[in-house]
Amino acid sequence: MCIRDSVICVNPSNSSEKEIVEKLSLQNGDLRVFLSDQLEETFNKSIPGKKAIGDILDDTHISTASHGAFCGVFFEDINSDLRNVFLSAIKESTLKRILWVSESPPTDEILKISNLAYLQHKNYENLTEEILELESKEEIEFGFKEIT
């Protein structure tokens, strides 16, 4: 297994995000997941991959869990506190490719991260296929992408 086969999903917290993680697990030899300790235990147990469960608002937990992974998929929910947490975790990580998934528009600070693709979606439409494709390609275009 090469390093490119390693992906971490950060903060999957609903059934749509769980489906994305399940599909990523089928195309990756090393799938890791960082889950909030505030989620239901049954939900956390149902997610595939090697799990780390902790304080989602602690960027050091996230950056430590992502150590050695090639790609990070960050699921931003309606908790606006996660923006700063994710930014700090990404800056401290060794990730080579970041996919930031959100229904909110990006900030300039987020878009300044050179190895980040920001995927803005509406109700998860067409998102799964886009993430699977971006995660599996040898090279991708970074920056803002509106998923319609």
Q: What is the pLDDT of residues 20-66, one digit of tens each?
A: 999 999 998 889 999 999 999 999 999 999 999 999 999 999 999 99
pLDDT digits (tens, 9 = 90+) for 57-84: 999 999 999 999 999 999 998 766 899 9
Q: Report the alpha-carbon distance of residue 89 to residue 61 in Å, rounded.
A: 8
Res 115 pLDDT > 80 = yes
Residue with tokens 């993680």: 21
Phi, psi angles (nearest 5°) of residue 78: -75, -5
Burial class (CB in 10 A: 0-12, 13-18, 19+), 105: exposed
Model-level pTM? 0.95
Mean pLDDT of the chain: 93
pLDDT at residue 3 tops 60: no
